[in-house]
Each structure stands twice: as C-alpha cells, then as structure tokens.
C-alpha cells in the first residue's frame, strides 16, 4: 500500500525512516491526535444538528444568532458557556467516583473510534476481531453511568443509574445477536473486510442489507437496539426529566455534565457507522462501476511500492461516503427523538425481553440456514449477483493485471532509453589548439 497515504501502513512508513520505537510511537500519536479531533468535532456538529432538527419539527428556526444565519457555532458557544460554570461536588457524594464517572463514559466512547474504519485501510487499529472489540469497549460506557448515579448521593441519580444498568444489560443481547447476522454471511469479524466485501456489481446488490430477508430485518432491529443503547428517546429512561429531575446526571454541572453528552453523541456516530459497515456497504456507494473502480484503485495502492495518488483519492471518496451514511443515521435518531413520546420503563424492558431478543434469535437462525437452503434449491449461494469472494478475487486480479501492465510499460520505457544511449556513437573532440595550424586563429 502507498507508504505515505494509507493509515494502516503509517507506522511501517515511519519505522523505516525513524526506527521502530520512534516510528510506531509517532504513528500512534498521529492516530490519537486525529481521532481526538474527530471525537471532539462530532458532538459540536450533532448538537447543532439536533437543535436545528428539533426546531424545524416544532415549527421553529433553531439557532440563528451564533455563527451566522444558520447558527453554525452554537455547539462551540455551548462549550464555552459550560467551561465557565462552576464544578460542584455534592457534600453527600463519593468525591473520587463522582469525578471519575464522566471520564469513564468518555473514554469508552473514544476507544471505539480506534477500531472504526473510515475507509479501506483508514483505521487506527485494524483487528481481525474488530467487531468484537468495538462492541465490548462500547459496552463499558454503562459503567460511567452507573458510577455517576451511585456516587452522586441522590435518589434520583441512583434511580437513573439503576435504570441504565437494567436497560443496557438487556439491550446488549439483541445488539450483539443482530450484529452477528451479517457476520454469518461474510464469515469475518474484521470491519475492513466486511465493508470491502460489499462492493456492488450493479446497484446496491452488494450491500448486506439486501443480501437476504434476514439481514434486511436485522438492520432495523439493530438500529432500534442501538438507539436504546445510546439512551436516546423514546428509550431515555435513565435521564427522564419528567420523572427523575435529570436522572443519573442530576448533580453534575459544567464540563463534567457535558462529558456525558459528548460520549452520547460520539456513541451515536459510532453505532451509526457500525450500521453502515455491517449493512449499508460501508464506504461503498452502491453503484457498481463506481465501487469497482474505487476498489481496484485501493488494491493497486497495496501493490505499489511508492506513493499512489489514486489509492489515496479512492480512500478519501470512501471516507466521505461513510461519514455521510453515518451522519444520515444520526439524523434519523434525532428525528425519532423529537417525534415519538417516551416509553415507560416497564414498556422498555418488555420490548427488549419479549420481542427484540426472540426476533434477533430467529434472524440469526434464518441467516445461518438461508445459504444452505438457497444452495440446495437454486444451486446458487446468492440471489442478486456473483458470490462475494469471487467478486473480490476478480477485482484483485484486475488490479494485479493493471499493476503488471504499468510495471511492464515502465520497464519497456527504461530499456528503450538505455538502449538508445548505448547505440549513440561516441564523438571524439580533439583540442582545437592542437589541431589548428601554427599562425591560425586557433593558435592565438
């Protein structure tokens, strides 16, 4: 892969020039710096989006004064206001746990960004069990919520923490099962490989959402339980202001209060990005000739030893497509919040235990049996297009052939230049002074 423009080879690129210790250390610092800025920027954008969307749904304008006509800097203004507020700790609170809880929630949300690929090869940690690690790290956020409720010394906060514990532990079960439904189809937990296997041949035929009826339904079940996992309405019982004042963060103020919401908006983007990778093609557009051209350019970047600009541009286009899909799903979560009323806590638990868990189990079983039945009755392993592995191998062969042709052309050009230099006759130029007769102009 291009040694400079591919993120997963940045460590190797720097290690060759600075040594392993300094090279991989600098690569880790660059990755962390980029992800921290993405983690901090996403909440600013989505806070502004939530205010605008809620305003439009309620027939209002939303922010219009800060940052121009559309209020672009509303999130930044909110952050500046919260920084100036006093950081209070209740007298009845456990001071250490109270201060630590917001950081645990933020670290859990930030840790998932290390495993979330933004394009082919553009991921901080490319792990073969990336999905497993991402879901495991994301589930740690609930520890910060429980500690916040327990350590606040308030019954409202404690009730909110207890609700969050019951809700998260319950909804993680269908979340994990529905996330495994597309894994049965592709046979990999590597998020980069899952997205690369969804390159379309015609139009949207490569997306796992349209691979079979079970993955289609699993997408909507996953999105429902992911919304509940992010404590979004109508599942926001952990912070129900009509019942618990403010829920688990009742006693928090200033920046510590904002850390919970930074973690929430970051988690919204993560689960939306994961949905786009598992079901909606990841960084693939769904248009056959565009996807194949971009995939071949990325595979060419793996084969090239120097800087290959088309591979970088293909990854850049893929990142824009991926972020657009994830942002649209975040918009849907915001839309749902300001459209549906809040459920009761017993309804939230009943929805999970009586409906979502059995449905997710049926979907997992159906996705397992689908290719077997399809192969038995139709002699094909897929309905719409050629098998996933065959399509990937074909594009890799095309990239290899293009690489070989380009390499052969360069070698032919080099050989023709060297041959022309060898065939050129040597011209011996005698000194003008020695060859000129005595008394001529050359002897003067």
Every domain of the chain and the residues it spans: 95-405
- In total, the chain counts a number of residues equal to 444
Largest Cα–Cα separation, the chain: 119
Distance in angstroms (rounded) separating the CA atoms of residues 218 and 178: 6
**Residue, of 325 and 426, whose pLDDT is higher:** 325
Candidates 205, 185, 216, 183; CA nearest to 386 is: 205
For residues 70 and 52, is the Cβ–Cβ distance under 8 A?
Answer: yes
- Residue 39, token pair as written in the block: 């983690």
Q: What pLDDT sits at residue 273?
A: 95
Q: What pLDDT sits at residue 387?
A: 63
Q: What pLDDT sits at residue 435?
A: 44
The answer on pLDDT for 432 being more than 70 is no
CA 276 vs CA 163, 259, 307, 434: distances in Å: 29, 26, 29, 82
Q: What pLDDT sits at residue 6?
A: 37
Q: Using a pLDDT cut of 90, give the percent of the chain over it.
A: 32
Candidates 321, 371, 290, 254; CA nearest to 120 is: 321
Distance in angstroms (rounded) separating the CA atoms of residues 304 and 297: 10
Neighbouring residues of 407: CB distance < 8 A, sequence distance ≥ 6: none
Average pLDDT over residues 273-297: 91
Confidence of residue 121 (pLDDT cuts 50, 70, 90): confident
Helices (H), 65-200: 74-83, 95-113, 130-138, 141-151, 155-186, 191-196
pTM of the model: 0.84
Q: Strand, coil or helix: what is 203? A: strand
The answer on pLDDT for 430 being more than 50 is no
- Placement of tokens 């309905």 in the chain: 383
Neighbouring residues of 37: CB distance < 8 A, sequence distance ≥ 6: none
Chain segment 251-275, per-residue pLDDT in tens? 998 889 899 888 989 999 999 999 9
Q: What pLDDT sits at residue 386?
A: 60
Q: What pLDDT sits at residue 284?
A: 92
Q: What pLDDT sits at residue 365?
A: 95
**Residue, of 194 and 120, whose pLDDT is higher:** 194
**Residue, of 69 and 149, whose pLDDT is higher:** 149
For residues 97 and 146, is the Cβ–Cβ distance under 8 A?
Answer: no
Neighbouring residues of 174: CB distance < 8 A, sequence distance ≥ 6: 221, 225, 352, 356, 357, 359, 360
The answer on pLDDT for 288 being more than 70 is yes
Average pLDDT over residues 358-383: 85
Kindly report which listed range (190-194, 275-279, 330-334, 392-396) carries the lowest average pLDDT score.
392-396
* Mean per-residue pLDDT over the chain, rounded: 83
206: which DSSP letter? T
19: which DSSP letter? -
355: which DSSP letter? I
Distance in angstroms (rounded) separating the CA atoms of residues 133 and 129: 6
Candidates 278, 279, 266; CA nearest to 330 is: 266
Q: Strand, coil or helix: what is 28? A: helix
Candidates 141, 126, 270, 278; CA nearest to 190 is: 126
The answer on pLDDT for 428 being more than 60 is no
Kindly report which listed range (92-101, 223-232, 377-386) carries the lowest average pLDDT score.
377-386
Angle at 402 between CA 398 and CA 407, to 5 degrees: 145
Confidence of residue 3 (pLDDT cuts 50, 70, 90): very low
CA 129 vs CA 88, 113, 183, 204, 314: distances in Å: 41, 15, 11, 26, 25
Distance in angstroms (rounded) separating the CA atoms of residues 233 and 240: 9
Alpha-carbon dihedral of residues 354, 357, 358, 362, nearest 10 degrees?
160
The answer on pLDDT for 287 being more than 70 is yes
For residues 326 and 273, is the Cβ–Cβ distance under 8 A?
Answer: yes
Confidence of residue 8 (pLDDT cuts 50, 70, 90): very low
Kindly report which listed range (244-248, 265-269, 396-400, 431-435) carries the lowest average pLDDT score.
431-435
Chain segment 166-187, per-residue pLDDT in tens? 888 889 999 999 999 999 888 8
- Placement of tokens 């077997």 in the chain: 372
Distance of CA 191 to the CA centre of its chain: 9
Distance of CA 310 to the CA centre of its chain: 21
Chain segment 406-416, per-residue pLDDT in tens? 777 776 777 77
Q: What pLDDT sits at residue 420?
A: 64
Confidence of residue 4 (pLDDT cuts 50, 70, 90): very low
The answer on pLDDT for 98 being more than 60 is yes
426: which DSSP letter? P
Q: What pLDDT sits at residue 389?
A: 65
Kindly report which listed range (4-13, 42-51, 135-144, 284-293) carries the lowest average pLDDT score.
4-13
Count of CA atoms in the C-beta half-sphere (13 A) of 271: 34
Q: What pLDDT sits at residue 241?
A: 67
């Amino acid at each position: 892969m291009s040694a400079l423009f591919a993120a997963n080879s940045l460590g190797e690129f720097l290690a060759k020039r600075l040594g392993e210790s300094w090279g991989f250390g600098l690569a880790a610092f660059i990755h962390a710096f980029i992800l921290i800025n993405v983690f901090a920027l996403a909440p600013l954008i989505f806070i502004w989006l939530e205010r605008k969307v809620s305003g439009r749904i309620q027939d209002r304008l939303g922010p219009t004064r800060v940052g121009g006509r559309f209020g672009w800097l509303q999130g930044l203004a909110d952050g500046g206001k919260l920084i100036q507020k006093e950081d209070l700790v209740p007298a009845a609170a456990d001071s250490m746990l109270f201060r630590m809880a917001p950081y645990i929630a933020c670290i859990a949300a930030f840790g998932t960004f290390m495993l979330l690929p933004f394009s082919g090869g553009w991921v901080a940690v490319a792990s073969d069990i990336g999905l497993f690690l991402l879901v495991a790290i994301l589930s740690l956020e609930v520890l910060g919520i429980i500690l916040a409720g327990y350590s606040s010394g308030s019954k409202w906060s404690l009730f909110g923490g207890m609700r969050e514990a019951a809700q998260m532990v319950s909804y993680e079960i269908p979340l994990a099962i529905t996330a495994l439904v597309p894994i049965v189809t592709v046979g990999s937990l590597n998020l980069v490989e899952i997205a690369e296997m969804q390159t379309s041949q015609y139009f949207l035929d490569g997306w796992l959402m349209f691979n079979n009826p079970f993955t289609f339904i699993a997408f909507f079940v996953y999105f429902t339980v992911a919304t509940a996992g992010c404590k979004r309405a109508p599942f926001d019982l952990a912070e129900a202001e009509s019942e618990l004042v403010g829920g688990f963060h009742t006693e928090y103020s200033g920046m510590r209060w904002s850390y919970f919401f930074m973690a929430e908006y970051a988690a919204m983007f993560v689960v939306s990005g994961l949905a786009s990778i598992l079901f909606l093609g990841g960084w693939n557009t769904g248009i056959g000739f565009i996807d194949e051209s971009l995939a071949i350019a990325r595979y060419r970047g793996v084969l090239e030893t120097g800087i290959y600009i088309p591979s970088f541009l293909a990854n850049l286009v893929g990142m824009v497509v991926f972020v657009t899909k994830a942002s649209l799903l975040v918009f849907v979560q915001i839309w749902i919040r300001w459209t549906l009323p809040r459920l009761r806590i017993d309804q939230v638990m009943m929805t999970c235990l009586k409906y979502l868990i059995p449905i997710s189990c049926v979907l997992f079983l159906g996705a397992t049996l689908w290719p077997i039945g399809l192969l038995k009755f139709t002699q094909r392993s897929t309905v719409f297009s050629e098998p996933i592995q065959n399509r990937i191998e074909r594009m890799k062969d095309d990239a290899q052939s293009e690489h070989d042709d380009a390499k052969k052309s360069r070698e032919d050009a080099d050989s023709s230049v060297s041959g022309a230099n060898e065939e050129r006759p040597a011209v011996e130029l005698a000194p003008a002074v020695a060859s000129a007769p005595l008394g001529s102009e050359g002897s003067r």
